Amino acid sequence: MNLSDFAQRCGYWPEKEEIVRARLMALDLLVTCRRCKGTGLYEHNPLDSRCYGCGGRGKKLPPLTARLAATVRGRIEAGDLRPYFEDLRALQAQMRGNSPG
């Protein structure tokens, strides 16, 4: 399944990998990178030791499947992303110079 199909099945998420990654991270659905074992570093990279399997993050997107999309959809309906969106609104208000609320 491609990112666009996955985003649509999750409830019309923006089709940007960074947003999908952030939301899956908020739901604790990212997977630990097998290449670096979650450290973000890879000793066999002579350039800068950064793991290019996960971009140095230690976690990466799981395979985007219909089953994962159904899990995400259920967790959204249960309100599991509510704290993520509240934090995002507070951060946006702070960046605008306003107090949240």
pLDDT block averages, 10 residues each, the chain of length 101: 90 88 94 94 82 91 94 95 93 80 52
Say if 71 falls within a structural domain: yes
Instruction: Return the closest-CA partner of residue 5 out of 20, 16, 15, 17.
Output: 15
The confidence score (pLDDT) of residue 45 equals 73
Q: Is 59 left (phi over 0), alpha (psi -120 to 50) or beta?
A: beta
Domain span at residue 58 reads 3-96
The confidence score (pLDDT) of residue 72 equals 95
Q: How far is CA 85 from the centre of its chain?
A: 13
> pTM for the complete prediction?
0.79
Say if 16 falls within a structural domain: yes
The total domain count for the chain is: 1
Say if 101 falls within a structural domain: no
Say if 57 falls within a structural domain: yes
Q: Could you tell me if 62 and 52 are in contact, meaning their C-beta atoms sit under 8 angstroms apart? A: no
The confidence score (pLDDT) of residue 70 equals 95
